Amino acid sequence: MGCFQSKTIHLPSPDNDPPPPQPKPDPANDEEFELVPPFKEFDLDELRAATNGFSSELIVSESGEKAPNVVYKGKLEKTRLVAIKRFSKQSWPDPKQFVIEASGVGKLRFKRLVNLIGCCAEGDERLLVAEFMPNDTLSKHLFHWEKQPFPWEMRVRVAYYIAQALDHCSTENRKIYHDLNAYRVLFDEDGDPRLSSFGLMKNSQDGKSYSTNLAYTPPEFLRTGRVIPESVIYSYGTILLDLLSGKHIPPSHALDLLRGKNLLLLMDSSLEGQYGDDDATQLIDLSSKCLQYEAKDRPDIKFIFSAVEPLQKQEVASHVLMGLTKTPVVLPTMLSALGKACVRMDLTAVHDILLKVGYKDEEGAESELSFQEWTQQVQDMLNTKKFGDIAFRDKDYKNAIEYYSKLVSMMSVPSGTVFVRRALSYLMVGQPELALRDAMQAQVCLPEWPTSFYMQALALSKLGMESDAQDMLNDGASFEAKKQNIWRS
pLDDT bin (cut points 50, 70, 90) of residue 4 is very low
Sequence-ordered alpha helix ranges (H) in 59-119: 95-106
Measured CA to CA, the distance from residue 299 to residue 293 in angstroms comes to 12
**Cα angle for residues 29, 33, 37 (degrees, 5° grid):** 105
Q: Is residue 13 part of a domain?
A: no
As to burial, measured by CB atoms within 10 angstroms (0-12 exposed, 13-18 middle, 19+ buried), residue 118 is buried
Final residue in a domain of this structure, among 111, 131, 151: 131
Residues 126, 228: one domain?
no
Name the band, by pLDDT with cuts 50, 70 and 90, for residue 419.
Answer: very high
- Residues 361 and 475 occupy one common structural domain: yes
Q: Which of 135, 99, 96, 173 is nearest to 2 (CA)?
A: 135
Mean pLDDT of the chain: 82
Report phi then psi at 114, rounded to 5.
-80, 100
Return d(Cα 25, Cα 183) in angstroms, integer: 30
Sheet containing 113-114, strands listed edge to edge, beginning at the edge strand earlier in sequence = 113-114, 193-196, 185-187
Cβ burial, residue 21 (10 Å; 0-12/13-18/19+): exposed
The percent of residues above 90 in pLDDT, for the chain, comes to: 44
Q: Are residues 171 and 314 in the same domain?
A: yes
CA distance 307 to 284: 11
Question: pLDDT tens digit string along 431-454?
Answer: 988 999 999 999 988 888 999 999
Report pLDDT for 160.
96
pLDDT range class, residue 466, cuts 50, 70, 90: confident
Range of the domain at 293: 138-321
Instruction: Judge whether residue 365 has pLDDT over 70.
Output: no
Domain assignment present for residue 7? The answer is no
Pair (146, 295) in one structural domain:
yes
Shared domain check, 80 and 153: no
Please indicate whether residue 112 or residue 62 has the higher confidence score (pLDDT). Answer: 112
Same domain, 345 and 364: yes
Torsions phi, psi for 447 (to 5 deg): -60, -25
pLDDT tens digits, 99-154: 999 999 999 999 999 999 999 999 989 999 999 999 999 999 999 887 789 999 99
- pLDDT at position 372: 45
In a domain, 33, yes or no: no
Strands 116-122 and 113-114: unpaired
Nearest to 199 by CA among 216, 212, 213, 215: 212
* Beta strands 81-87; 193-196: pairing state: unpaired
Residue 155 pLDDT exceeds 70: yes
Report the C-alpha gap between 198 and 217 in whole angstroms: 18
Please check whether residues 87 and 182 belong to one and the same domain. Answer: no
Assigned domain for 29 exists: no
19 in any annotated domain: no
Categorize the per-residue pLDDT at 1 as very low, low, confident or very high, splitting at 50, 70 and 90: very low
The one-character DSSP state at 199 is G
CATH number for 232: 1.10.510.10
Q: 120 with 169, same domain? A: no
Residue range 293-321: mean pLDDT, rounded: 90
Give the residue from 289, 299, 287 showing the smallest Cα distance to 239. Answer: 287
- List active site positions: 179
The Cα–Cα gap between 219 and 294 comes to 8
The CATH number covering residue 126 comes to 3.30.200.20
pLDDT at 61 over 60: yes
Of 321, 354, 383, which residue is a domain's last?
321
Q: Provide the pLDDT confidence category of residue 13 given band limits of 50, 70 and 90.
A: very low
Predicted pLDDT at 67 = 47
pLDDT band (50, 70, 90) for residue 182: very high
Answer whether residue 183 is part of any domain: yes
Q: How many whole angstroms separate alpha carbon 342 and alpha carbon 474?
A: 12
Residue 18 has pLDDT above 50, yes or no: no
State the average pLDDT over residues 250-263: 75
Of 98, 131, 164, the residue at which a domain comes to its end is 131
The model's confidence at residue 321, banded by pLDDT at 50, 70 and 90, is: confident
63 φ/ψ angles, rounded to the nearest 5 degrees: -160, 165
What is the CATH number for 456?
A: 1.25.40.10
Cα separation of 430 and 452, whole Å?
Answer: 19
241 belongs to a structural domain: yes
Cα distance between residue 385 and residue 405, in whole Å:
10
* Nearest by Cα to 421 from 478, 470, 352: 352
H-run or E-run covering 348: helix 347-357
| Number of folded domains that form the chain | 3
Residue 126 CA, distance from chain mean position? 19
pLDDT in tens, 195-249: 999 889 875 544 456 665 677 889 998 888 888 999 999 999 999 999 999 988 8
**Are 211 and 120 in a shared domain?**
no
pLDDT the model gives residue 163? 97
180 and 286 both lie in a single domain: yes
Q: Note whether residue 3 is domain-resident.
A: no
- Same domain as 228, residue 111: no
Element containing residue 223 per DSSP (H, E):
helix 219-224
Quick count: other Cβ atoms within 10 Å of Cβ 214? 9
pLDDT at 312 over 80: yes
Pair 165, 314 in one domain: yes
20 pLDDT band (50/70/90 cuts)?
very low
CA angle 467, 469, 470 (to 5 degrees): 65
